[in-house]
């Protein structure tokens, strides 16, 4: 089963 990642770990708040 694949799990959906989120964008939080890729993009940083500026």
Partner 1 sequence: MLEARLQTGALLKKVLEAIKELITDANFDCSDNGIALQAMDNSHVALVALLLRHDGFEPYRCDRSLALGVNLVSLSKVLRCAGNDDIITLKADDTADVLSLTFENTDNDRISEYELKLMDIDSEHLGIPDTTYEAVVQMSSAEFARICKDLQVLSDSVQIDVTKEGVKFGAKGELGSGAVTLKQNGNVDKEEEATLIELQQNVSLNFSLKYLVNFTKATPLASRVSLSMSSEVPLLVEYKMEAGYIRYYLAPKIGE
Contacts to partner 1 by CB under 8 A: 1-8, 10-14
Alpha-carbon distances, residue 9 vs 2, 4, 13 (angstroms): 18, 12, 10
Taking the complex as a whole, the smallest distance from the CB of residue 10 to partner 1 amounts, in Å, to 5
Query: Tokens at residue 8, please?
Result: 């939080």
Taking the complex as a whole, the smallest distance from the CB of residue 1 to partner 1 amounts, in Å, to 7
What is the C-alpha R_g of the chain? 10
Taking the complex as a whole, the smallest distance from the CB of residue 6 to partner 1 amounts, in Å, to 4
């Amino acid at each position: 089963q694949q799990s959906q990642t989120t964008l939080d770990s890729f993009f940083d708040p500026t």
